[in-house]
Structure 1
Amino acid sequence: MSMDGILNVLKPPGMTSHDVVGYVRKVTGQKKTGHTGTLDPGAAGVLPVCLGKATKIIQFLPDDKCYRAEITFGKSTSTQDSFGDVLKSDGAYGINATDIEQELKSFKGWINQIPPMTSAIKHHGKKLYELARAGIEVERKPRTVYIHEIALMNFNDDKIFPSAILHIHCSAGTYVRTICHDLGEKLGCGAYMSFLLRTRAGVFALEDTITLEQLTEPSGLDMETLLVPMGRALAYIPVVDLDNRSARAISCGNSITLPVHILASRLVAKQLVRLERAGVLIALAAVKDDPNMSEHYMLQPVKVLV
């Protein structure tokens, strides 16, 4: 039986995101599976896993993320987290919560990050972490990311190695470990990310996750109940309900035209819409820009799901 939807999985520390997808594939018997964004092996938290036709919508899912990160000051590592070699361990004497909050202001909005050598970004066909394992370090170009919110949630005033908990809401592609490292550099004491918990990925929240054990519990919920429907995951995209004729045309990959007045809100050129028939998502389409059709929308399917 084909399963089409998203499982909001709680990834445990110690497993790679690929491992989690493999486990889900084995348990469900669904060959088409894929996650929506890698979470470090040592990290825990939200890891949405798409099954069946839902693998086709990964690129359209909201991709901002929220994290709780523990940062330890006074020590720097080769990987910017707790798994690397210690490069410096001089302690962080005298820093306080006020100092941290002041420096955090510089991380809000658009910032540039130099990807760590432990990342999966490719350099001449090789992933950076593969080069790092071979003892090779290469120059990396800065990448621009957006920090919606960053805040100090807790501060542990250890005399030598104080630590803190940060809340971070950021765009996809943000390296939280690099934020921790760079914050330590700004404070002049060094720092590394000592633990990471992803609390949200797009519309998927930590409080709604399921454990890997729940997928195999005999008395647990059935898979249809656990799966988040594709339409709900794409709720930010306006929906258009189609009649049978339009649904058939879209299913064949053809464009359709619809009168402007039958839609609840005005659409603009290139805007994405969800096309549904009887509550079932059949395609995603884009509004075509045609100045000669002011009273109609032309909708061109960009991803057919039936």
Structure 2
Amino acid sequence: MKTLQPYFKGHGNVLGTLIILALILHSCRPDKKAKIEEKLDAKKDGIIHITTTAMDFTSPDTIPSGWNTFAYQNKSSETHFFLFDKYPNGKTIQDTKNEVFPPFDKGMDLINEGKTEAGYAEFNKLPAWFFEVVYSGGSGLVSPNMNSTTTVNLEPGYYIMECYVKMPNGKFHVSMGMAKPIIVSNKKSEVSPPKATTNITISSTEGINYNGSIAKGPQVFSVEFKDQITHENFVGHDVNLVKLADTTKLEILENWMNWTDPKGLITPAPEGVTFLGGVNDSPAGSVGYFKVDLEPGIYALVSEVPNTIEKGMLKTFTVSE
């Protein structure tokens, strides 16, 4: 793997987009009912609504640029997230079909056969423009039948909204339809970022940090990305909020957050773990926000990268009565 890292270095959440690009062509089918629902439920009270009922995203096709607040309802039986991937100017899914599908298809076949190194080697045949994709935030992980509220700042452009959590059989959710093109228009939104009750910072050198205690009730967390790198599993760091049971072992959670572990990022999530959202992989210097109503209990802030405890990217805290 080390021979591949110079090629992937600095390009953010490469694996997630690799997975969606080749498989999206098999999952985009017109759905008249969904389109009607999009028009009726596209934006309420200044909030953009996204809903998952199985392996899908129901949302508007076009959204304004600037600050946007997304209310995500995970009505499915699987853990999900959404991540916005911004494409280089002029590139679309058609370019993916012509230039990305062949090497990625072969690479994924090799990985599924257990030939991981050979599969990664196929990705070296991908076009240079592919590594200009900018990973621009989204929600953290959200457990089944849970909701999240996330605010991020998006530049105009062509995006793909994706989820690459794995099914129990090891297949990525994007192969089942969890990838959707989104146009972020030049029209500016009227949304302003919320006022944070807790400020979180995350970096590759200092991990996840915040000041003060965290109280029960409605909270707004800001997440500042002081830097962004490509970690050993070819993804950038993010922040996910997790409610833990008293018996939850942090080592099990840590291993599950790494997709390269055979049992990593695969549903169901570990017993005693409830994901409540967060802010997904974002560029260095950016800030995102997420809202949550906290009950008393034990919680953790954790990133989707390997060795989170060693890196300071798994921090626990307690919310008291």
TM-score normalised per structure 2: 0.22
Task: Work out which of the two has the higher radius of gyration on C-alpha atoms and give 1 or 2.
Answer: 1
TM-score normalised per structure 1: 0.22
